[in-house]
Every structure is written in structure tokens, then in C-alpha cells.
Amino acid sequence: MTTLPLERPHARARAERRERVLLAPITVTPSKPLTPSHLKGLLWTDVMYRATRELADVTFRSSQTTYHPTEQTLGFWEFLDRTHGDREYAECSEEEIGELYVAFRAEGTRAPAEALRPYADAVEHGWVHPASRRVLGLWSGHYADLGLHDPGLLAHQPPGLGLDETIAWLSALGLCVDLRAVGGPVHLDTTRFGLPLRQIVTADGRPNYLACALRELMPLTADFDEVVLLYDRELDPDHQQLAHVLALLGPRVRRAPIGRVPIDGAVRSARHGGWQDNHAGALLASARAGYAEPVVRLGMRLYFIATLGPGQAQSFDPALVRQCLKRAERLLAAAADTDPSDDLAERLARHRKDHVYVDPYRLTSSLLGRRGPVPGHDLLSAVFL
């Protein structure tokens, strides 16, 4: 009689528990309307989150508080107070506040560090400028209309580490060149991985987006098996560096870059405006005028994920948005009469590779296959509506 080796207890425990995944998407500065590029990233992340949580324990971490200390945000607030005084923002539209942001970027001047320091101190205690608070409130409405998971747009969610603590931890890992003692900046040093030095704090103490991300994610990652970084492709160099740092702390780190959406063939930054008629509020108003809420939610995901894909070769096209809304209407009608024979988790797991998370593009594109099975209402309800 052959005696089989006993399975090790810790291996069995790993097999029995669901893996833990941290989704960490890039945030959008609350200073303007949500553009097609922003919508693409938000919808992509939402489908990943809702599909993956059927298979794993998923934490969606996206804290506006963490990234308020960047100069991009604090500089805008200082500009508003310096040029518009005590203006009331509670009734302003996103477009009106967005135009103020365009004016701020066009000014081209950089506020001195001492002018921004009171704003940075106030952020640590939960304060948000009224203009950005107004924008976040309007975004909350768009999130609700689109069925997006709200990770706490209006919540005070400070990062787990202070800036000094983060720099100390990086130094202990041998990943930091700290020149503050001689009046210089702080650099992230990932040269051991073949990457260049990257300044993360200026000589006068201003942290950039990467410094804020390290404050946020370094204390979190040890609790997860997989960390997924979602961001637009233009930020890939910083996220390569971020991924190397986080991987040293234990988890598997996956990078999921997403291309922006060109407008009339050109990829433009929102700092230059140009969002008229193409921003989230306008798109939703147009779609909701002709279609029910479930159709709008599914149709927007079909367009921004499956039709546009992960790259940025295709310009925004309202005609294709309308086609996707019509397709969503047909899919929802067909799904009402569908009773899938296999488990939802099994169907979702087909859209993974060597990672735990479900690939939004593969999953959403599968809904458009003309010869494939009609997606069940359980799938649409759990992930797309």
C-alpha cells in the first residue's frame, strides 16, 4: 500500500482562502470636468474591481486626500484664493471651475513654497478647498449615474505614512538619495533595477505625485497577494519605479497602463480645456435622454473599454457611443431570457492570465462576440450595471 505525503498545513490554508488584491488606480485632480480619458480609466477600473471581487478579496484604494498635497492641486487652490478671493463655489458648474483651472495653468507662475504650506497643513487635517469640494460633489453624481463604485471621493482618507516616515523607510531599503541636510531635494533611487534617479521632493519640500503614492501604498502592500496599479500610459516611468519599490515589500505587483482618448486625433491635457460637449455630464445627459439607466451604464462600458481598447489610437466618436448604447439595449433584452449553465466565477476566471485580477478588456469584449453565448443577466448585473 502506497502512503501519500500529507499536504502541508500552510499550503492547504493558501488553497482554501481567497487571494487578496489591492486595486490602486491613479486619481483625477478635482479641478475640472471628467473628460473621455478620465471616464475610460474610471470605467476600466470599475469593471476590474467588480469582476475580480467575485473571485478574490479586493480592496479598492483611491484616496483624494493622499494626492491633494501635490503642487498641481495646492497651486490651484492658492491661485483661486489669490485671484478670486472669497468667491462662492457652491453653485459653480464643473465647466466654470475647469475654466479657472485652465487660467491657473496658463498663468505659468509657481507659487512659493511658503504660500502653499498652510494649504498642505490644512489637508492633513481634512480640509478641502470649496472649489474642489464642489467638483467632487458633482463627480459623485456622475459616479452614481454610471454605477461606479465610489471609493470615498468626499471622505478624508489620509495615507498611512507621513512624508518623513516614507523617506526614512526608503532610506532603510537603500532606495533614497536624501539631500535635505544640505538644502537639496530627495530622489527615489531605483538604479539597481536599471532605472534613473527620480526626484520625489523638491529642495523647498514639495512632494510630487510619486512621493504621495509611496506614502499611500508602502504601508498597505504587505497585506495583499497582488497589487494592481492602474494609470494612463504617460505615467509609465513613475509606475515602473513604484512597482519595483512595492514588490520589495512582498506582493506581486501588476501594472495596467491605459491609453488616453484622443479628441479629433490629438491627445490633449485637460489643463488646456477642450472638454466642451465631451465631458461626463454632457455625455450622460445626452445618453439618458434616450435610454434607460441600465442601458447607459452598459453602453458606456462597451464603448470606453471594448471599443476603445487599452491603447489610444482611436479618437472619441459620439456616433460609436450611440451604437454601443443600442448594442447594450439588445444585450440586456437578450440576457433577460438567458439562464447560464455554468457558474459566474467560472465565466469570469476565463478572462485572467497569470494574474488574479480579471482583465476588463477581455471580459467586456467577450460581450460583443456575435457567435458567442448571450451573457447572463447575473454577469451584467454583477459587473456592468
Question: What are the tens digits of pLDDT across the range 187-205?
Answer: 999 999 999 999 999 999 9
Examine the pLDDT at 8 and tell me if it is beyond 50. Answer: no
Amino acid at residue number 138:
L
CA proximity to 19, closest of 270, 313, 226, 232: 226
- Domain chopping of the chain, boundaries: 20-156+208-258, 272-384
Q: List, for residues 278-337, the tens digit of each pLDDT value.
A: 899 999 999 999 999 999 999 999 999 999 999 998 999 999 999 999 999 999 998 866
Question: Of all helices (H) and strands (E), which one includes residue 318?
Answer: helix 318-335
Length of the chain: 385
Q: pTM for the whole thing?
A: 0.91
Domain formed by 20-156+208-258, architecture:
3-Layer(aba) Sandwich (3.40)
In the chain, where does DSSP find H-type helix?
Answer: 9-16, 36-52, 64-67, 71-84, 94-107, 113-124, 130-146, 163-172, 209-217, 236-247, 280-290, 293-301, 318-335, 344-349, 360-366, 377-379
Contacts of 385 (CB under 8 A, 6+ apart): 147, 294, 297, 298
